[in-house]
Structure 1
Amino acid sequence: MNDDVKRLRTPQRPPFDAELAEALTQVRDEMPVTVTSSGIGAIRERAARTTASVEELAAEYGVAVRIVTATRHGGPNLRLLVARPPTPTSGALYWIHGGGGVLGDFRFGIDPALTWAAEFGVTVVSVDYRLAPEHRDPVAIEDCYAGLCWLASNARTLQVDPTGIIVGGHSAGAGLAAGTALLARDRGGPRAHGQLLLCPMLDDREQTVSSRLLAGEGVWDRTANRTAWAARLGARRGGPTVSAYSAPARAGDLGGLPPAFLDVGSVDTFRDETVEYASRIWSDGGEAELHVWPGAYHCFEIVAPAATLSTAAVRCRAGWLRRRLEAS
């Protein structure tokens, strides 16, 4: 088969894991597959109805939760959620929530981080960055960087070691975490002790096979991805002027970054950009641990938490985090 035919051939989707496929049918009406600009409002309303309150989170995970504010340039004060376990260690997890950059707040999807707070005694700080399309790039990444600076500056007050901060997130939050690490490196800001990048949203250009693979199936298909990037970047999406801090796959140099953990499903829109990002960290002399979960779609561990692949993924994430915290 010649190269031209290979390029024209329609890529085939890998099969879903059987357990995950069954779980997906049960939540099909609750999990967004395709998101359009006109549908962002409805998805936000649904997320707001299902996201636990601060009081509920504190009670469920046995942590003390408070809201603090930090000054940010060019906007209102930045809100951060601080969760302290009963017996805190000196480690901290700076958490950036997912939602495509268009929905959620500092409580959205924070459950894994609070589980680790209870398990490892790590203090969790979650940032309430501003959302698109009301606030376009670079607002979100600047908010995330400002939150990291606040945490580093207030580490001693929080009884946290400023050299033991892990930057992490899920989906769009993981992409913003990667961008925050890049921004901190290039500005000489706080250096994180690690990057926990769970199914990260890294590339606006839609050039990979997996970015075009899913149409109306799985979770977070190509239309949803286009919608979110367009909301964040406007007409610049896919063009030459997008910053690598907002779309870290564009970075020319991934050297000098904190050690990273990356994972993604083999049937995730973000599969190829995640694998490529890890490969480029290695090629630039960095440290990365990569897992590609066979037959897994975006958010599989949320849709089917009891599935074999989900429990394996959660165990791997926790193991890496524990090792990084112990190494600080």
Structure 2
Amino acid sequence: MTTTTTSRPPFDPELEAVLGALAEQVPPSITPEMIPFLRQSPIMGPVDELLAERGITRRDVSISGFQGAEIVVSVLAKEGRVGTGPGIYHTHGGGMIAGDRFAGVAGVAGIAEWIDRFDAVAVTVEYRLAPEFPDPFPVEDCYAGLVWTAEHAEELGIDPARLIIAGASAGGGLAAGVALLARDRGGPALAGQMLICPMLDDRDQTISTRQIDGVGVWDRTSNLTGWNALLGERRGGDDVSPYAAPARATDHTGLPPAFIDCGSAEVFRDEDVAYATSLWAAGVQAELHVWPGGFHGFDMMAPHAAISKAAPEARTNWVARIFGA
């Protein structure tokens, strides 16, 4: 079947109106030589200011990552918080090639919102990035951070029975991979996995990856750039671990409940729908939303749009049910 960009689902009108302006800042196609540019934007200062405005404190801790190397996690909690409550372990996005542990934390409806609303403690991990650190470095660093979080739950004020993992885009793929690792290694236990437009499949074979080519945000070329950086010559072949590309998993039994969402006009649509279907087939509870006309990361880039308000509300409602809040 031949699919062209003209046969893709249309963008939501409110979202399409901002795509022209976005293209000047975020081109649809990311190629390998653009990786250094993606990493240039400083993020620490504004995030600290936004956290302070919400009354959230930050503590950085050095821990042992994959193969014993030092990595950093940040512990975020409301100022003056005491007692025990829910926990959020966060793996950031960035296509496996960019971003830092604060990406997705301080937005209007990001991790900071859940810290504030549910009196939760969040731990966000600075995993090492491809291509300098290819698979399995990112997912193993993320798993090491989850282990540290669970081992220090009492000290952090986290109820181990209410610890979830959350990530968007590449962070969603890493969250799914860590959930698989945690199941297969006998822990830590997770109460749920929040997978926001997760990056799950390296094979570049879905209809949606062919539809979103040269349009939108994070198109087919960008996706291949990220996967090639992570997997190199193994991308698309038989020697790819389900922990690196969770769409490769064949056993979904025993995984924690999941929230999965994506846009109807983004590369990840078909792999995300397929992953939810696989979870249901294995008897795992999953909530799936395909936001009509949404491009990748639409809620962050066009927060005024109606679906950009509906998407984070649905995520927060799911988190509330998991936490029993």
The answer to whether TM tops 0.5 is yes
Within a 5 Å distance, the mapping from 1:236-251 to structure 2 comes to 236-251=234-249
- Conserved in 1, the CA contact under 8 Å of 2:87 and 2:162? yes
Counterpart amino acid of residue 92 in structure 2? H
Work out the CA distance in 2 between the residues paired with 1:72 and 1:18.
Answer: 44
| Residue aligned with 1:320, SS | helix
Counterpart of 1:289 (choices 287, 297, 304) is 287
The AA in structure 2 aligned to 1:311 is: K
Corresponding residue number in structure 1 for 2:2: 8
* 2:18 corresponds to: 23
Q: Which residue of 1 aligns with 2:70?
A: 77
The equivalent residue for 1:141 is: 139
1:102 matched to 2:97? The reply is yes
Q: Which residue of 2 aligns with 1:60?
A: 53
> In the aligned structure 2, how far is the partner of 1:51 from the partner of 1:220?
23
Counterparts of 1:1-328 in structure 2, within 5 Å, are 7-8=1-2, 10=4, 12-45=7-40, 48-50=41-43, 52-53=45-46, 55-86=48-79, 87=81, 90-111=85-106, 112-326=110-324
Aligned residue for 1:156, secondary structure, equals: helix
Q: Are the equivalent residues in 2 in contact too, given 1:236–1:242 (CA < 8 A)? A: yes
Q: In structure 1, what is the Cα distance between the partners aligned to 2:216 and 2:236? A: 24
* Amino acid paired to 2:102: R
Question: Offset at 1:290?
Answer: 0.2
TM-score (norm 1): 0.94
> Once structures 1 and 2 are overlaid, which stretch shifts more, 303-312 or 65-74?
65-74
Counting aligned pairs with the same residue, the percent is 49
Q: CA deviation at 1:9?
A: 5.2
Q: Matched residues in 1 for 2:159 and 2:307: separation?
A: 34
Is this contact kept in 1: 2:291–2:307, CA < 8 A? Answer: yes
Report the residue type matching 1:257 in the other structure: L
Q: How many aligned positions are there? A: 319
Gaps of 5+ in 1: 1-6
Listed one character per residue, the Cα deviations across residues 73-100 of structure 1 (whole Å, up to 9, x for unaligned) are 4242121011011446510110110000
Cα distance in 2 between the residues matched to 1:55 and 1:172: 23
